[in-house]
Amino acid sequence: MINLSVNVNKIATLRNARGGNVPNVQQVAIDCERFGANGITVHPRPDERHIRRSDVFALRPLVRTEFNIEGYPSEQFMELVLSVKPTQATLVPDAPDVLTSSAGWDVMANMELLTGIVDRLKEAGIRTSIFVGTDLDNIRAAARTGADRVELYTGPYAEQYDDDPERAVAPFAAAAMAAHSVGLGLNAGHDLNLHNLKFFQQHVPHLMEVSIGHALIADALYLGLEATIHAYKDCLK
């Protein structure tokens, strides 16, 4: 079974729009696990426009499955992660002002930075994952940083899926094989949804985890959170 990690950023966005604590991010995370999610993902940003540092600290003792913190490895981010000690840290190359992740790392151009970050995380016993595209040489370079996994940026797959599913998924299947060949575990995320997820997991070998937030929370507005998580889990069987 491929793990489903639910990104709760959008719950925090909704809460922050009104102030107060409705919806309650902590309770939603607990409920996601109760309904079958295998992990909780957060992506704190410097401006705290959705998940706040205080949320991360509050969630840590509550999460009973895997806790994944995504973000650009600034010193502020590293201090947070090393203090909280999640199951996994996913390193993304986002600038502070971007709305959402839109590209993977150029690993070879950032080899020194990433290797140093991975060393610090692994010394703390935190599993590391590097957010990447489907370039095969870049994925092989990620293995040389000492990272445990890569997370494939699946935005291009989602964009091309309706026009030609086979063509859309082919680079990701090749990337999965390349990652596996150099000993990297495989995660995936970005714009995966109930429409395209099942096809993706059927055609991408060695997939261990998908991280989904925006689409899952949007679906939950119609289906309810429990039914939505069950539906996503069904896609991953």
Residues recognised as catalytic: 43, 70, 190
* Eight-state DSSP code of residue 49: S
Partners of 185 in the β-ladder: 149
Given the structure tokens 């150099």, which residue do they identify? 182
What sign has the CA pseudo-torsion 45, 49, 54, 58? negative
* Eight-state DSSP code of residue 60: T
Contact present, 108 and 137 (Cβ < 8 Å): yes
**Is the bond preceding residue 23 a cis peptide, omega within 30 degrees?**
yes
* Alpha-helical runs (H) found in the chain: 9-18, 25-34, 53-59, 75-84, 111-123, 136-144, 155-160, 165-181, 197-203, 214-223, 225-235
Looking only at the bridges linking them, the beta strands covering 66-71 and 3-7 are: unpaired
| Cα gap 200→204, rounded to integer Å | 6
